[in-house]
Structures are given as C-alpha cells and as structure tokens.
Amino acid sequence: MKTGINENTKQGMKNKEPIIKLDDVWKIYRMGDVEVPALRGMTLEIFPGEFVAIMGPSGSGKSTAMNMVGCLDVPTRGHIFLDSKDISKMKESDLAQIRGKKIGFIFQSFNLMQNLTALENVMLPMTFQGVARAEREKMAKKYLTLVGLKDRMHHKPTELSGGQQQRVAIARSLSNDPEVILADEPTGNLDSKTGEEVMGMLTRLHEDEGKTIVMVTHDKNVGKYADRIAYLKDGRCCDKL
C-alpha cells in the first residue's frame, strides 16, 4: 500500500529486467481529419513480482494504457517490450500467442461467455493454447476451487452473482499460468464488500503465488492494495496527480 518503491524493492529490481516496458509510447486515434492523442509519450516499467496500480482521472488514458500494457494494441510511436522482446511491430496472430501465455486478463464487465458454464469459461483460454481436454478440465477445476467456486462449476454466468462471475474471471485469468495478471477496474461492477473479497484474492495471488499484478483503477481505496502506484495524467506517467 505504497505510492513509491521502497529501497529493498529498488535493490531487487537492479538485478531484474522489467517483464513489461513501455518506452515513450504514443497512441494517436484519427477522427476524420483530426488526430486525438490518448497517450503522449508514456514510459513505464513493470518488474516481476510487483503489484502496480495505474491510476488517473477520466480521460487520462487509462483504458489505452491498459491495452498497451496488455499487448492488446500496438503504439503509434514508441516501443513496448514483453520479456525484453519488442512487440510494437508484431502481427496480431503472434501477439495473440504471446498474450495467451504471458498475460491473464480480468475485466470490469467480466467478459464471460454466457452460453458456457463456469468450468467451460475457465477451460476456454487453454483451448487456444492447444492444451489437451483432460488437462484443461483438471486445471479449470483447480482454479475454480482456488477462488471458492467448487460447488458452482457447472453454473452459467446468468446463474451466478456479480461477485461469483468476477471469481470465474479471476480463475480464467489463471488458466494458462501467466506471469502477469492485468485487472481492469476489477471491482467496478461490485458492491464494496464483494470488492474487498476480490481485492483480497488478487493480493493472495501476488503474495502467495508470486504473480505480477497490474491493475487499472480510478478508485483510491482499491489503489491502496498495490505496492506501487503509477499516476497517469494527460497520457503520461507522473509522480502524483
């Protein structure tokens, strides 16, 4: 629950390469003849084992930053490195393979397939990585049990509460055992009690499982769970708002 990096963490980082690095990243959208810059030279390093919150007001570029950190989009200018590989000019098919192995996603709106059960939703990302069905089912059951949904595996999203759906989303984010979990406003659609439970789960994944967590949020109370806060203003990272 810190807004900076303590000395012990700094010392440890000297011996590590960042797992994700944004170097002078610009993202410019075209609307007719008008150029709209969402990011204006964003520079950020995420190190293995960190829990980082990206925070900023509405319009600061948080959603675009999430797309860049998650390798869901490529920059107009600048470079994005994932495990020291420059992904800025990669084809989407190559990006998809890298994302599937390295990054697990948790979205504010859950993004679950409504026609699939909780178990099938968690199995789905493993399908795209060519994991055998028996192994997919075994791992999906393991992760759903981990998030407390052992008895709800065969229920569809419409049969689950908002909190339970977010738990399924967390289990799904773990399905390919990624190094990084990217959470976009993970408590945005939840009541405060359920939100605390979800943040408790993310904290345990960070502390007990050693996962690198990158969370995008506008909520200061949620941001306090992170080890470090990267503030975003006018499309750039800054020390404070």
In a domain, 1, yes or no: no
- Mean pLDDT, range 7-14, rounded to an integer: 46
How far is it, in rounded angstroms, from Cα 183 to Cα 108?
A: 8
Amino acid at 118: A
171 contacts 144 by C-beta, under 8 angstroms: yes
Q: Give the mean pLDDT of the chain.
A: 89
What local confidence, expressed as pLDDT, does residue 230 receive? 94
> What are the E-state strand segments in the chain?
20-31, 34-46, 51-55, 77-82, 85-86, 103-106, 180-184, 212-217, 228-233, 236-238
In a domain, 71, yes or no: yes
What local confidence, expressed as pLDDT, does residue 15 receive? 55
What local confidence, expressed as pLDDT, does residue 115 receive? 97
Residue 57 has pLDDT above 90, yes or no: no
- Give DSSP secondary structure letters for 69-107: HTTSS--SEEEEEETTEE-TT--HHHHHHHHHHHEEEE-
Query: Which among 89, 90, 42, 95 has a CA at the least distance from the CA of 65?
Result: 42
Which band of pLDDT confidence, cut at 50, 70 and 90, is reported for residue 5? very low
Domain containing residue 177: 7-238
Structural domain count, the chain: 1
Quote the tokens at residue 136. Answer: 């997919």
Which band of pLDDT confidence, cut at 50, 70 and 90, is reported for residue 9? very low
pLDDT digits (tens, 9 = 90+) for 90-114: 888 888 888 888 999 998 889 999 9
- Mean pLDDT, range 158-186, rounded to an integer: 94
> What is the CA 90 to chain-centroid distance, rounded?
20
Q: What is the CATH number of the domain that holds 223?
A: 3.40.50.300
What local confidence, expressed as pLDDT, does residue 132 receive? 96
Which band of pLDDT confidence, cut at 50, 70 and 90, is reported for residue 22? very high
- The total number of residues shown for the chain amounts to 241
What local confidence, expressed as pLDDT, does residue 7 receive? 45
Secondary element (H or E) of residue 162:
helix 162-173
- Mean pLDDT, range 66-95, rounded to an integer: 88
- Mean pLDDT, range 70-96, rounded to an integer: 88
For helices 162-173 and 118-128, give the axis angle rounded to 10 degrees.
20
pLDDT digits (tens, 9 = 90+) for 138-167: 999 999 999 999 999 999 999 999 999 999
In a domain, 234, yes or no: yes
Which of 111-120, 210-219, 232-241 is predicted with the least confidence, judged by mean pLDDT?
232-241
How far is it, in rounded angstroms, from Cα 40 to Cα 100?
A: 28
Residue linked to tokens 């404070």: 240
Percentage above 70 pLDDT, the chain: 93
Residue 8 has pLDDT above 60, yes or no: no
How far is it, in rounded angstroms, from Cα 139 to Cα 129?
A: 13
229 contacts 52 by C-beta, under 8 angstroms: yes
How far is it, in rounded angstroms, from Cα 183 to Cα 55?
A: 12
pLDDT digits (tens, 9 = 90+) for 193-226: 999 999 999 999 999 999 999 999 989 999 999 9
In a domain, 2, yes or no: no
